[in-house]
Chains A and B, each alone.
Chain A
């Protein structure tokens, strides 16, 4: 058992932190988020240079622990670059089931030259599942897809889509689609990120690997993405608490700093407890994936804790700040928004709890 980062992992963390904090303060971040794209190509290229956009599928780039380390930094800075949704998530899927030719796309992804999106969620889908209503049909030698995907995070800017669709003979297959061929309605999410609704009306598609049942691979990817999102949430929680503690030592009321009021410091201590529990479960999820254990139960466990801790920390961070906490100009409200958005991606806390309830009868004593 070892929870310490290696030297290289520590270096990766520091480098990422450095790049992001050089680029983003509250004001510059808001400016970038308000741009058409919603994130910075320049930062994207820097992340590619460090090797971050190939994590998890470029064999030299490192695995889930490195993803954990990087995403925590992204969460800490609220960097808007869609590292998970436009690169790492769908990239891992292509790496797992794609043909040699399709895997060659990943070099462009890692280099920051090609943006991906995983078009999987559909209207009415709540919990992570591989069952979809979008259909794949054979037309002669080729395939066409029909259906609606929403929300597709990073779907607004993707060059290439990885799409899940029901196969004619049952099961869910995966297809690669040129994003220029679909109808998409791009939008902002409430936390300033980007997504799209994508409609497929008999759109030409190429099977990712073979046109065969791919539910297992989809499950693996959802677990990987979930772990990465937990890591991002951890960084956001850390910073939200740091900002709150700092504010309590600076803001004065009744002639003294807020840190003199136990009613506030006791609550800050509870936020710290929530943070440490979240850290433990996040590391648990990442270390499990790194060990090759892509277990959806572990993903649900971690995401439930992140949901609870994120809700607690973001609400208290705002409350302990007071009015400034709900303004646009001050960052803490934006951390709350991001944490809320993460909780609503890949199933809410209640959805995770459903997964766990369904398995209560499978064991006596709960164990790691």
Chain B
């Protein structure tokens, strides 16, 4: 038995060259001040995301996951992973996920040629900023019980209802919504459609939801007799649930945020070295373990990437989401630990002894509790693992 070329940890020379090229690109083409703001973890700025996204798009690097015809790259899963990891390690704002990972692929896969031509180019360029209209007050993990209705009236749908947890809806030009078009369908999943709606349409109101850390990221969106042209329906009427499942499978890709967590842990180490906490073995052991945990997740992500075929959602992506959210949260806890009592002042600026990074640490810790809830809560991920992988 001679050992073969299989089971190689190292990147191939081509993959390594690809990585180096991207590493240079991100650090030279994306403005340093944008990357610095992203690294520091300030609130997302619309301008930074758009500027960065446009530079990526101008170089054909915004939507590599799309079909080639619409700007995709036909990369291997490993290349996709390198593209994302290097972007995160360089603190480049990622392409707007609502555009690049959610509505774009759905339109490309299920939309008419007319819809594709109308929406895909401005979606890739973020000339349209999309937001997601899925969750409702009574439809969270049980998304299929959503109640927002869209009733056909001539060439329009008339939409009534309410969406919630609409992330960055305050910046959005358009919203993609799951709406109930057939209230009498035998199964609640069967009467749902996927509708594109201009946020400027009369009858839409947006109400921001203030989060526990004082930030505004999410909103409620109310629809009152909103008339939506019927040609803004994606695919077929009452087939929206299938499109939504396709979208949610894509959403979980990249949700592990391995690169960002690694950077966060590097910051923890840097700050703890500066203030001496690193010499406390109790703390150092937690940090060393957190580093090992993220490495194990990174290797798992590499395995999933190199083993996935045909772009089908892999149930292992539930592992990445579940574990990735836990490790993101753990990193915020560690940074808060480094800050100690300096975590108490909030928004006091740099005029006091508590540094700004320390002032941000506890709000971020609280904010990051969201990561185990969004994108399918971790309990939902466990249910997926138990049923699809373990056969329970």
Contacts and interface: CB of A to CB of B under 8 A. Distances in A.
Given A353-B289, A364-B269, A368-B9, A259 B2 contact: no
A273 interface: yes
A1 B11 contact: yes
B319 A287 contact: no
A277 B7 contact: no
Contacts of B390: 241, 245, 265, 268-269, 272
B284 A1 contact: no
Interface in B315-330: 316, 319, 322-323
Nearest to B272: A360
Nearest to A62: B1
B382 A1 contact: no
Contacts, number: 172
B234 to A, nearest CB: 32
Contacts of A356: 288-289, 291-292
A67 to B, nearest CB: 11
A283 B385 CA distance: 22
Contacts of A9: 1, 4, 6-7
Given A2-B306, A368-B298, A290 B7 contact: yes
Given A1-B306, A266-B379, A366 B299 contact: no
Given A356-B292, A360-B288, A1 B302 contact: yes
Interface SS, A side: helix
Interface SS, B side: helix
A139 interface: no
Contact of B8 (A1, A62, A365): A1
Interface in A238-272: 241, 245, 248-249, 259, 262, 265-266, 268-270, 272
A113 interface: no
Given A287-B7, A291-B9, A8 B2 contact: yes
Contacts of A357: 281, 284-285, 288
A30 to B, nearest CB: 27
A259 B284 CA distance: 40
Contacts of B3: 6, 62-63, 65-66, 290
B50 interface: no
Given A265-B383, A301-B292, A283 B303 contact: yes
A288 B296 CA distance: 14
Contacts of A301: 292, 295
Interface string B368-382: 000000000001011
A311 to B, nearest CB: 13
Interface stretch (B62-70, B196-204, B260-268, B345-353): B260-268
A106 B5 CA distance: 27
B7 A5 contact: yes
A304 interface: yes
Contacts of A262: 383
Contacts of B284: 357, 360
A360 B269 contact: yes
B7 A366 contact: no
B178 interface: no
A191 interface: no
Interface string A10-41: 00100000000000000000000000000000
Contacts of A107: none
Interface in B273-305: 273, 278, 281, 284-285, 287-289, 291-300, 302-303
Interface string A140-167: 0000000000000000000000000000
A60 interface: yes
B212 interface: no
A268 B265 CA distance: 29
Contacts of A63: 3
A314 interface: no
A259 to B, nearest CB: 4
A206 B37 CA distance: 65
B391 A249 contact: yes
A305 interface: yes
A159 to B, nearest CB: 26
A276 B256 CA distance: 15
A280 B8 contact: no
A279 to B, nearest CB: 8
A284 interface: yes
Given A268-B386, A272-B385, A361 B273 contact: yes
Nearest to A281: B296
A3 B319 contact: no
A65 B2 CA distance: 11
Contacts of B300: 276-277, 279-280
Interface in A64-122: 65-66
B246 to A, nearest CB: 23
Contacts of A171: none
Nearest to A68: B7
A276 B266 contact: no
A233 to B, nearest CB: 14
B232 to A, nearest CB: 39
A337 interface: no
B289 A304 contact: yes
B270 interface: yes
Contact of B287 (A269, A283, A360): A360
Contacts of B297: 277, 280
Contact of A273 (B1, B11, B319): B319
A51 interface: yes
Contact of B12 (A1, A65, A287, A367): A1
A279 B304 CA distance: 12
Nearest to B302: A1
A61 interface: yes
Contacts of A6: 3-7
Most buried by A among B2, B263, B287: B2
B43 interface: no
B29 interface: no
A229 B335 CA distance: 35
B291 A269 contact: no
Given A365-B263, A366-B294, A51 B1 contact: yes
A290 B292 CA distance: 21
Given A245-B392, A266-B386, A276 B316 contact: yes
5 contacts: A1-B10, A1-B11, A62-B1, A272-B319, A366-B295
Given A269-B322, A281-B296, 5 more contacts: A3-B7, A272-B385, A356-B291, A361-B273, A365-B89
9 closest A-B pairs by beta carbon, nearest first, are: A269-B382, A280-B299, A6-B4, A6-B6, A269-B385, A265-B386, A356-B288, A366-B291, A287-B9
